[in-house]
Amino acid sequence: MAKNLLIFLLFVVFTGKAQPNARPVIISPEVHADNTVTFRFYAPAAKEVKLNAQFEKTPLPMNKDERGIWSITTSAVKPDMYPYAFNVDGIQTADPNNSAIFPNEGFQNSLVEITGNSPLVHTVQHVPHGTISYRYYQSAELGTRPVVIYTPPGYEANAKVSYPVLYLLHGTTDTEETWTKVGRANIILDNLIAQGKAKPMIIVMPYGRAYPVISKSSGSLRNWDNLQEFKKDFFNNLLPFVEQNYRTIKDKNSRAIAGFSGGGGTTLYFGLNNTDKFGYVCGFAPGMLKNEFDRNNEVAFKNPELVNKNLKLFWIGVGKDDGLYGVNQEFMQVLDQKKIKYESLISDGGHTWMNCKLYLSTIAQKLFK
Amino acid sequence: MAKNLLIFLLFVVFTGKAQPNARPVIISPEVHADNTVTFRFYAPAAKEVKLNAQFEKTPLPMNKDERGIWSITTSAVKPDMYPYAFNVDGIQTADPNNSAIFPNEGFQNSLVEITGNSPLVHTVQHVPHGTISYRYYQSAELGTRPVVIYTPPGYEANAKVSYPVLYLLHGTTDTEETWTKVGRANIILDNLIAQGKAKPMIIVMPYGRAYPVISKSSGSLRNWDNLQEFKKDFFNNLLPFVEQNYRTIKDKNSRAIAGFSGGGGTTLYFGLNNTDKFGYVCGFAPGMLKNEFDRNNEVAFKNPELVNKNLKLFWIGVGKDDGLYGVNQEFMQVLDQKKIKYESLISDGGHTWMNCKLYLSTIAQKLFK
């Protein structure tokens, strides 16, 4: 199938014309100058195709033309980058004509960017760009592990300069690629550094768990064990790998940790209990359960003054419509009771990567200053 | 949808149990010790689900269980890494539970690796690993352009060593990520370098055309124009970017160019007509049309002796079952008539990335020696 398709497309490309009755050429998504977007999907035999886009609260019905192409043109969309998928007779599928994919182990979404009149903080602009490196490090227990590392513009040329490091963790079923491909972490930093709003920093984005959540090795979900294994890997393997292979400033005030959702829960667990290692701890809609507050914050809750003394910033961001808003409110009440200092940003919106980009661009301007 | 799913999965992860009636946990693909593979797809309302895998010539029917999970366990598969997708009531969809995705602008496939008893040339092993860097370079005409660059193990540490460069082009609808994610170019080189079979080299994998084939900017297919624009970009922007930003050996005998399918056609067009710049030109099932032989090889055909004198290797690989086998045979006959020297590998199989991995691992052992 892929082979035949490739040969057909090769034919089209080399001859400039399609064979009669061949699969039509599809452009999707097509973002228009007025911020409306046309989505298209070829499915002549489908009965119902809907667009599931995160700029809409409900799926939008699409209409089929005589060639079998389903399409919809939206109303004007608020500029941002959004995940979306097609629902084809009940089956969720990504957009086959869009190579911008949401890296995830549990679902497939495509990505569409609506830029609007002026570039957004995550829009690729003509500014100096950092480098994203895909690296492997070694764990005796877990084998060869992937990590994505951002080095800021000038890192290669300024061979004598050392940099602070932000460890940035993804959400529950995401991968080490999600923070760059969906969160645009590298582009956000490129832009903020170019504007003088953020310090040049290294960002380390590991595969944020020991095993896949839907574990192919154990066949079961074991969150606490998984977290303990990842903690060992993080402190014994990842952190030394980064400090040995990159020009890092090796003190707690030049180390930050942040993360989204499940990775936000991991961030607070690693960060608040290890304030000798991190000067900055930032949770983006951090995943947590009330009955685990004491267990997960054992060291921090024993000595709140040490937390306040060691941390230059403890920050929590969460959206008003986020399913985790309530438990985060409860957590902040506990922090107040314990007299643990923190800053918070209560944003609009829900448990989304649109909010992740907002949170990262907010805290990036507060780090290492 | 993605939001609800994420919250549900978060719930599962933090509590360790799924809610009743929730979407079941799916493991797919599951590779067994005997090289059989189980594929699973959740679609309770679907009428027919088939597996389209490139290790089979025809789609395999899948069976639905009482939970709505379709599955199939294959017979033993020849060890390799293969693209696959599910055909759900006529709609091709990638595997939502597998984050290994085939980067492409025209279709979506997932990837499954069957390793077998001993590691393959593209299997991640415990050897020194190079770095994959995602970079941007600038084109006055085309804007900010992506390129993926492999530097070999030791590149960062050996700050005074310079390296030869292989420019490696993807197929027609592929992207700058396809050679690493589907072709495993980095892993192949890591392994061959560790075994002393390949020289350490830099590999440059650009986005191999000026505009998307299914052009979002022009709305039309314009292959020749596209190729001319990419040629300008390649020689005026990409090559200088690489030579300015990486420690490269700057002579033709330390520069190679190779490519697959449409990118193989581009490789021959760039390489054979610019033998002052490349000492090695390798086509992997190169895309070509007989009536374009003279146009595309104008410089080379005028002076075959110069081609023979300048090139240390001109290599063509193609599979016996490849749709391009015939035209490649005709091209080699023309090369024979013109007395242009070349090596060829006629392999089994078709127009596939399994063959690409074979071809790359073959030529990598011949380059820069």
CA distances from B358 to B12, B81, B121, B186, B188 (A): 42, 11, 9, 14, 10
Q: Which is more confident, B338 or B211? A: B338
A207-238 per-position pLDDT tens digit:
999 888 655 444 444 578 889 999 999 999 99
Asked if the C-beta of A32 comes within 8 angstroms of chain B's C-beta atoms, the answer is no
DSSP states along B49-91: EEEEETTSSS-EE-EE-TTSEEEEE-S---SEEEEEEEEETTE
Q: Do domains B21-114 and B131-363 have the same CATH topology?
A: no
Instruction: Say which residue, B219 or B30, is predicted with more confidence.
Output: B30
Chain B nearest-CA residue for A41? B91
Identify the CA nearest to A73 among candidates A62, A87, A84. A62
- A13 with B172: Cβ contact below 8 A: yes
Give the residue-averaged pLDDT of B76-103: 96
**Tokens representing B173?**
């609808």
CB distance from B2 to chain A under 8 Å? yes
Q: Give the model's confidence band at B95: pLDDT under 50 very low, under 70 low, under 90 confident, else very high.
A: very high
Contact at CB, A143 and B133, closer than 8 angstroms: no
pLDDT in tens, B259-311: 999 999 999 999 999 999 999 999 999 999 999 999 999 999 999 999 999 99
Residues of B numbered 290-309 whose beta carbons fall under 8 angstroms of chain A's beta carbons: which are they? 292
- Chain B interface disruption, residue of A13, A42, A57, A176, most B CBs within 10 A: A13
Give residue A26's pLDDT.
87
Nearest CB to A1: which of B2, B92, B171?
B92
Task: Name the percent of chain A lying above pLDDT 90.
Answer: 85
How many cross-chain Cβ pairs, A to B, lie less than 8 Å apart?
A: 232
Question: Left (φ > 0), alpha (ψ -120 to 50) or beta: where does A159 sit?
Answer: alpha
Task: Judge contact between A275 and A252, C-beta under 8 A.
Answer: yes
Dist. CA A87–CA A246, nearest whole Å? 44
Domain B21-114 has CATH 2.60.40.10: yes
Mean of pLDDT values over A21-31: 79
- Per-residue pLDDT averaged across A277-303, rounded? 96
Q: How far is A246 from chain B (nearest CA, A)?
A: 9
Query: What is the CATH number that goes with domain A25-114?
Result: 2.60.40.10
B261/A10 Cβ within 8 A: yes
Q: Could you identify the residue written with the tokens 């124009």?
A: B225
Quick one: closest CA in A to B7, which residue? A323
Please indicate if any CB of chain B lies within 8 Å of the CB of A33: no
CATH class of A131-363: alpha beta
Residue A362's SS3 state is helix
Residue B230's pLDDT band (cuts 50, 70, 90) = very high
Closest residue of B to A82, CA-based? B2
Q: pLDDT tens-digit profile of A137-181?
A: 999 999 999 999 999 999 999 989 999 999 999 998 999 999 999
pLDDT in tens, B347-360: 999 999 999 999 99
| Residue owning tokens 């998984």 | A226
Compute the nearest-CA separation of B131 from chain A (Å).
5
CA dist., res. A166 & res. A52, Å (int)? 33
**Mean pLDDT calculated for residue range B184-201:** 98
Q: Which residues of chain A neighbour B223 with C-beta distances below 8 Å? A: 13-14, 16
CA distance B310 to chain A (A): 28
Determine the pLDDT at residue B222. 58
Q: Over 60: is that where the pLDDT of B340 sits? A: yes
Enumerate the domain spans of chain A. Answer: 25-114, 131-363
Q: Would you say A164 and A254 are in contact if contact means Cβ atoms under 8 Å apart?
A: yes
